[in-house]
Amino acid sequence: MDPKETTSGFGKNPRPPKANKNKNKKRVKNKSAAPIQITAEQILREAHDRRLEPTHSIPQQKIADLEELSEFRQRKRKEFEDNIRKNRLNISNWIKYANWEESQMEFQRARSVFERALDVEWRNVAIWLRYVDMELKNRSVNHARNLLDRATTLLPRMDQFWYKYTYMEETLGEVPKARNVFERWMKWEPPENAWMAYIKMELRYNEKERARAVYERFVSIHPEPANWIKWAKFEEEQNNLAKCREIYTAALEFLGDDKLDQKVLVAFAKFEIKAKEQYGDKAGIEEVVIGKRRVQYEKEIDENPKNYDVWFDYAKLEESAGDPTRVREVYERAIAQIPPAEEKRYWRRYIYLWINYALYEELETEDIERTREIYEQCIKLLPHKQFTFAKIWLMYAQFEIRQMNVQQARKLLGRAIGMCPKNKLFNGYIDLEFQMREFDRCRTLYTKYLEFNPANCSAWIKFAELERDVLGETERCRAIFDLAIAQPALDMPELLWKAYIDFEIAEEEYENARDLYHRLLERTEHVKVYISFAQFELSIPYEEGSDENVKRSRDIFSKAYDKMKEKELKDERVILLEAWKDFEENYGTDENKEAVQKKMPKVVKKRRKAKDSTEDNIIWEEYFDYIFPDDQVQNRLPKFLQMAQAWQAKQKQDGGNSNNNS
């Protein structure tokens, strides 16, 4: 037999021929660009348009007979029961189960599911509402009525049940039953919206007397001023003017002076004007209202004369009345209440009484002399040796400017600087002269300002900006910056140095800027200064093709790293390495990137004693520390040298012992 053939019971079958390997090779696809290009935006828009379309056809199950229907229902019920058994508190499982039974027209089973769900969580509002909706949808009105009756009995504070109950009864035309439901609801004294719903229902059926009775009960339970006004407007709409007046009168008596709201009085006055039966004219009614407020303010002032907020409100009331004599009387009485101590915190609110008084005289009565007198009296009253208010001085000077008394304003501000110099006074005076383009005076004021407070970096910067931006004096600007950085104490030196360096960079004086960086590093070796220095060197333009700026920046990073390492500043080293890493990612070679990456530390968690620890109660706290690879090498080196020295000493000892033995 030929070994290449196989034998079976049906004869000889030859071995199939070998497949052609060339045919199995994959053909190379055409990788050239398609003639029609599709953008990512088109793909996303098409996906968004088709997101609701089914990606595949859902197979439909056809039920042929009752037996298959019974099996299908049994299988679905088992799935629902399993889901409920896994999590009985998931209400959505119960609702889905009941809705499915309803879809199968199995209403008794659906009710059974809802009842079981209520046994699990009877406080859940959604179950009750879905249960009621099912009954109403299937026109089981009595079932729905019984359900709502149970719900309102068990959960009387849930307004959704009451609203649904009354709406259902009214929709069915059972207005007496709806009224009975509202009456049951009102016994629980619900919020205002519930009462208004009851009133609106009565008005829909033209039951005005019933609505009036509900309003009366409503106001007795919620006696807010707005509710009294609602009731009065209702009676006014019914043209019952006597009842409306009676309501307003009852409101005034009930609220009294303590709870009386001005809105009630205004509404009462407007009603009387509209009815044309008011006692007196409009001005007389407004005078009555203002008189009520005066009595209240006087009472509060008697209780606490130093309550400046009451004085503000009182003065505002009199200003609205329009009697200058009364306004001045209130302001004079108010400013007479001098704070009890010469501490600025007591005077901050009081000083605005003077300001408002002066503004009223200037703007409303236009009494210029009286305004000037108010400012003078205020300045005389202030204890300038302890504290002062720059706002008063500046407002007084601005007032004189408005009166075209420029010299008087200058004398006033010069007097203020002489008596009680403050930064705000200098800034305000300089701003005044700057607006009038008196730049020589600005220079003089800046000189005095810096003599008064040489540590104010903001003043130095503004002085230099005046010389450079406004006057174009570059050398004077540089001289001012040199004087500034030479000061022994500065409040914000980082801003000053940055402004000076930015000035030199803007002038393209790169050597001066580099010299400033070196001078700054002699004073402080902060990591941010090194990073800024490196970025500066990188930004300097050189000849095309030159990498001098990259070399200089890398040298600064390297030098800064050695300094941080020498001072054992771990956090600063990490910040520097992150900046250095970003720099090498953009400008370095693979070798440079790897060198910086090897310097990156490993973060470890450690424990240490907390500051609050005591000998009896030791508290440990966790913190994160950095372990740098080059520090580990440096720490291992002394140990290696000790081992080498010990080995050398042992060799010498062994050599001596051998000589003695010989």
Number of Cβ within 10 Å of residue 516's Cβ equals 23
Flag the least confident range among 59-73, 101-115, 461-475.
Answer: 59-73
Per-residue b/e over 433-445, b at no fewer than 16 CB within 10 Å? bbeeebeebbbeb
Number of Cβ within 10 Å of residue 68's Cβ equals 12
Instruction: Tell me the average pLDDT across 347-358.
Output: 92
Residue span of the structural domain in which 637 resides: 602-648
Q: What's the pLDDT at 9?
A: 39
Q: Are 585 and 577 contacting, i.e. CB atoms less than 8 angstroms apart?
A: no
Domain count, the chain: 1
CB neighbour list of residue 330: distance below 8 Å, 6 or more residues apart: 311, 314, 315, 318
Q: In which band, very low, low, confident or very high, does the pLDDT at 35 lie, cut at 50, 70 and 90?
A: confident
Per-residue b/e over 465-484, b at no fewer than 16 CB within 10 Å? ebbbeeeeeeebbbebbeeb
Per-residue b/e over 308-341, b at no fewer than 16 CB within 10 Å? bebbbebbebbbebeeeebbbebbeebbebebee
Instruction: Tell me the average pLDDT across 109-138.
Output: 89
Measure the CA–CA gap between 243 and 264, rounded to whole angstroms. 16
Q: What's the pLDDT at 396?
A: 93
Q: What's the pLDDT at 648?
A: 73
CB neighbour list of residue 523: distance below 8 Å, 6 or more residues apart: none
Q: Which has the closest alpha carbon to 603: 560, 575, 574?
A: 574
**Helix (H) / strand (E) containing 349:** none
Measure the CA–CA gap between 577 and 573, rounded to whole angstroms. 6
Q: What's the pLDDT at 93?
A: 84
Q: What does the pLDDT look like over 205-255, one tens digit per residue?
A: 989 899 999 999 998 888 888 889 899 888 888 888 888 888 888 888 888
**Burial of 389: CB neighbours in 10 Å, binned 0-12, 13-18, 19+:** buried
Measure the CA–CA gap between 358 and 368, rounded to whole angstroms. 9
Instruction: Tell me the average pLDDT across 625-653.
Output: 65
Measure the CA–CA gap between 240 and 282, rounded to whole angstroms. 22
Helix axis angle, 91-103 to 125-137, nearest 10°: 10
Q: Is the pLDDT of residue 637 over 80?
A: no
Q: Which has the closest alpha carbon to 381: 411, 405, 357, 359?
A: 357
Q: Are 199 and 218 contacting, i.e. CB atoms less than 8 angstroms apart?
A: yes
Q: What's the pLDDT at 385?
A: 83
CB neighbour list of residue 515: distance below 8 Å, 6 or more residues apart: none
Q: What DSSP string describes 403-452?
A: TT-HHHHHHHHHHHHHHS--HHHHHHHHHHHHHTT-HHHHHHHHHHHHHH
**Burial of 2: CB neighbours in 10 Å, binned 0-12, 13-18, 19+:** exposed
Q: In which band, very low, low, confident or very high, does the pLDDT at 14 lie, cut at 50, 70 and 90?
A: very low
Instruction: Tell me the average pLDDT across 534-539.
Output: 86
Inside any domain, residue 199 = no
Q: Is the pLDDT higher at 33 or at 75?
A: 75
Inside any domain, residue 619 = yes
Number of Cβ within 10 Å of residue 168's Cβ equals 19
Q: What's the pLDDT at 28?
A: 56
Q: What's the pLDDT at 13?
A: 45
Q: What does the pLDDT look like over 360-389, one tens digit per residue?
A: 999 998 999 999 999 999 999 998 888 889
* Length of the chain measured in residues: 662
Q: Are 490 and 455 contacting, i.e. CB atoms less than 8 angstroms apart?
A: yes
Q: Which has the closest alpha carbon to 420: 491, 359, 344?
A: 344
Instruction: Tell me the average pLDDT across 271-284.
Output: 65
Q: Is the pLDDT of residue 18 over 70?
A: no
Q: What does the pLDDT look like over 281-334, one tens digit per residue?
A: 556 666 777 888 888 889 999 999 999 999 999 999 889 888 899 999 999 999
Inside any domain, residue 642 = yes
Q: Are 372 and 399 contacting, i.e. CB atoms less than 8 angstroms apart?
A: yes
Inside any domain, residue 640 = yes
Flag the least confident range among 67-76, 424-433, 507-516, 611-620.
Answer: 611-620
Q: Is the pLDDT of residue 22 over 70?
A: no
Provide the CB-side half-sphere exposure for 152 (13 A, CA): 25
Average confidence score pLDDT of the chain:
83
CA-based max dimension of the chain = 143
Q: What's the pLDDT at 105?
A: 85
Inside any domain, residue 525 = no
Q: What's the pLDDT at 257?
A: 66
Q: What's the pLDDT at 52?
A: 56
Inside any domain, residue 90 = no
Instruction: Tell me the average pLDDT across 112-141.
Output: 89
Q: In which band, very low, low, confident or very high, does the pLDDT at 641 lie, cut at 50, 70 and 90?
A: low
Q: Is the pLDDT of residue 16 over 80?
A: no
Flag the least confident range among 84-98, 441-455, 537-551, 573-587.
Answer: 537-551
Inside any domain, residue 54 = no
Q: What's the pLDDT at 249?
A: 85
Q: What DSSP string describes 593-656?
A: HHHHHHH--EEEEEEEE-TT--SSS--EEEEEEEE-HHHHHHHHHHHHHHHHHHHHHHHHHHHH
Measure the CA–CA gap between 318 and 376, rounded to whole angstroms. 24
Q: Is the pLDDT of residue 482 over 80?
A: yes
Measure the CA–CA gap between 646 and 640, rounded to whole angstroms. 10
Flag the least confident range among 63-77, 279-293, 442-456, 534-548.
Answer: 279-293
Q: How far is CA 507 from CA 263, 475, 485, in A?
A: 67, 11, 19
Q: Is the pLDDT of residue 122 over 70?
A: yes
CB neighbour list of residue 613: distance below 8 Å, 6 or more residues apart: 619, 620
Inside any domain, residue 631 = yes
